[in-house]
Amino acid sequence: MPIPDSPLLSLTGIRKVFPGCIANDAIDLDVQPGEIHALLGENGAGKSTLVKIIYGVLRPDQGDIHWNGDLVQIANPAQAREFGIGMVFQHFSLFEALTTLENVALALPREDHDKLRARLVETADAYGLALQPDRHVHELSMGERQRIEIVRCLLQDPQLLILDEPTSVLTPQETETLFETLRKLAAERRAILYISHKLEEVRSLCDKATILRNGRRVDDCIPSAETARSLAEKMIGKRVESVRKRATTQQGNIGLQVSSLTTHSHQPHGMDLSDIDFAVRGGEILGIAGIAGNGQIELMDALSGETGAPLGGTIEILGTDATHLNPNERRDLGAVFVPEERIGQAAVADMTLVENSFLTASTRMKFSPNGLIDWNAVGSFADNIVRDFDVRTTGVSALASSLSGGNLQKFIVGREMLQEPQLLIVSQPTWGVDAGAAAAIHEEIQRLVSAGAAVLVISQDLDEIFLLSDRIAVISQGTLSSATPANDVTPEDIGLLMGVRHTQQEKTKYAAA
């Protein structure tokens, strides 16, 4: 344990407001030299905003930053680096076509190439960061790329190193190597600010933890003295017991049956889905909880059919095998989809609400039976959406980009609901939506279920999951836990299932227990 002396970095009363949300409020944080300090919190808790303030990317609206006891203003990242603050971002900023050495040289333009090569190798060796200076970045693994970023920081001799979710792209072995490096750095009395939501990692690595929730600091603790459960509790907080507006109705036929679904992600930072099994019946809501980037987008794409047939497994929609069907054929079976991405996927910014109505409703509403579009019919359908779902707009000829986030989401949800689906699959239904619109959207989802439809809700918002779901499953690292009745679990139980890989044996064991 480091000797508590004057802190290297001290934040007091940090506040940062973005339009529509308070990202940080009254945050105090002390980081001692030689300390590995965890910043723990859910998505949207304000961790990234806070470190961006420390690294000079953002400026606080209120509050003071003391560095080595002096009151300082950090205007930009260059200045932060001069102070001795280094940061490794979650998404790397490396040029793939250049070599390791060239990438490092770009950050230190005044340095002589040969000298730099010597220092690079020396530094890399000293901290156990195996690197080959002349290999091109595009042939390197994520772990190797991260090492370049770390070495690039270390060459500037930082007193404080900030790592944003560093293990999210690493294999377990690479993670272990990273931890050894970090411990070596701490032994040299360098401080490390470690951002994570992975409880076990924080417990094994960090000396101290500051826990953020809803932009506020809620607790400080020594992670090794806590259990994963107690950390999860602090991170997630006491949930308001939500009053369910809907008694579980009698279960109908199976609306969606997914068996052994396995996919390979098309995206560079994507997550492969592995062996996913679940079913949703008519008249029930299945909630899939989980932290962003654990396969939610890939699951949504696989279910809507947008990324083609999966590698393995089957998807049945309302009793018909839909594994190889395209999105519109799945819509014809009775399914509708609300993806997470509103602008650019669920709606087109520079198209009118009428055109956006045609976008997904053309199949089920038969707006173009022989290829000709009946724009009058689409127009009155759009009018209905605006009226029934209280979309605030100047009219259906308004561009989608002119709507506020909440209104656009009401429009999108309304567009899908008015198609009278038997299966609704919705991702992040109320992300970034104001409270009024969120309540309206929740109410509509409940009404649809009461009418007998099957609903799958994928959400990172645990409150929402508990408010809506009859059963809850957790997606983590591309695997899905078995679903349990919502009344039998607490948010803490769910929190524990995040960050774990759900293997088949474990699921069987779970089901047997």
Could you list the residues that contact another protein (CB under 8 A)? 57-58, 76-78, 93, 304-306, 326-329, 331, 337, 339, 341, 344-351, 355, 358-360, 362-363, 368, 371-373, 375
8 Å CB contact between 295 and 262 = no
Q: Which of these, 486, 410, 396, lies nearest to 444 by C-alpha position?
A: 410
Q: What are phi and psi of 105, to 5 degrees?
A: -60, -35
Residues in CB range of 512: below 8 A, 6 or more apart: none
**CB-nearer residue toward another protein: 345 or 419:** 345
8 Å CB contact between 456 and 426 = yes
Least separation in angstroms between residue 78's CB and another protein is 6
**CB-nearer residue toward another protein: 211 or 385:** 385
**CB-nearer residue toward another protein: 78 or 511:** 78
Least separation in angstroms between residue 308's CB and another protein is 10
Q: Which of these, 84, 22, 86, 14, lies nearest to 53 by C-alpha position?
A: 14
Least separation in angstroms between residue 179's CB and another protein is 28
Distance of alpha carbon 421 from alpha carbon 424, whole angstroms: 7
Instruction: Report the Cα 271 to chain-centroid distance in Å.
Output: 12
**Strand 62-67 with 70-72, pairing:** antiparallel
Least separation in angstroms between residue 345's CB and another protein is 4
**CB-nearer residue toward another protein: 197 or 330:** 330
- Angle (CA) 417-421-425 rounded to 5° is 80
Least separation in angstroms between residue 309's CB and another protein is 13
> Position 192: which residue type?
I
**Strand 254-263 with 312-317, pairing:** antiparallel
**CB-nearer residue toward another protein: 77 or 312:** 77
DSSP symbol at 65: E
Helical H runs in 138-273?
Answer: 142-154, 172-187, 199-205, 228-236
**CB-nearer residue toward another protein: 208 or 415:** 415
**CB-nearer residue toward another protein: 3 or 372:** 372
Least separation in angstroms between residue 189's CB and another protein is 29
Least separation in angstroms between residue 333's CB and another protein is 13
What tokens does 501 get?
């890989």
Least separation in angstroms between residue 357's CB and another protein is 11
Q: How far is CA 315 from CA 175, 277, 342, in A?
A: 35, 10, 24
**CB-nearer residue toward another protein: 347 or 448:** 347
Region for residue 344 given its phi and psi (left: phi exceeds 0; alpha: psi -120 to 50; beta: otherwise): left
